[in-house]
Amino acid sequence: MYEILLLVLLAALAWFWLDSISKREIAIAIGRQLAQRCHLQLLDDTVACSKLGLGRDPRGHMQITRHYTFEVSASGADRLPCYLQLLGNQLQNWHIPPYYAPIQ
């Protein structure tokens, strides 16, 4: 009996780990797009998951909400802290602070 429970728990952990990896790749792509749209550079080409939660999509289905932080730069010498929030695969919220564009 305990073996079955352990196998189910391990399978759930494996699913969560694989799902987190795929959502991180989605968050990196979205972060890169947001930075490019604002004429900024995504620093370190990475994001970090800072919060996990549960939320409902527009159809009422329960989804995992992930809050990712990342940094962008306008000139290469500055670092602006930003975030984005995913509900499942969908972007729910994002923030890039105001910045001064370098004079060219």
* pLDDT for 103: 61
Tens of pLDDT, residue by residue over 23-78, are: 999 999 999 999 999 999 999 989 999 999 999 999 999 999 999 999 999 887 88
Range of the domain at 20: 2-95
| Structure confidence at residue 104 as a pLDDT band (50, 70, 90) | low
Residue 103 lies in a domain: no
Q: Number of structural domains, the chain?
A: 1
Nearest to 71 by CA among 33, 41, 101: 41
Per-residue tokens: 69? 């932080």
Find residue 7's DSSP bridge partners: none
Q: Are the CB atoms for 93 and 84 separated by under 8 Å? A: yes
Residue 101 lies in a domain: no
Residue 82 lies in a domain: yes
For residue 88, give the amino acid letter.
Answer: G
* pLDDT for 28: 97
Give the Cα separation of 48 and 2 in Å (integer). 35
Q: Are the CB atoms for 82 and 94 separated by under 8 Å? A: yes
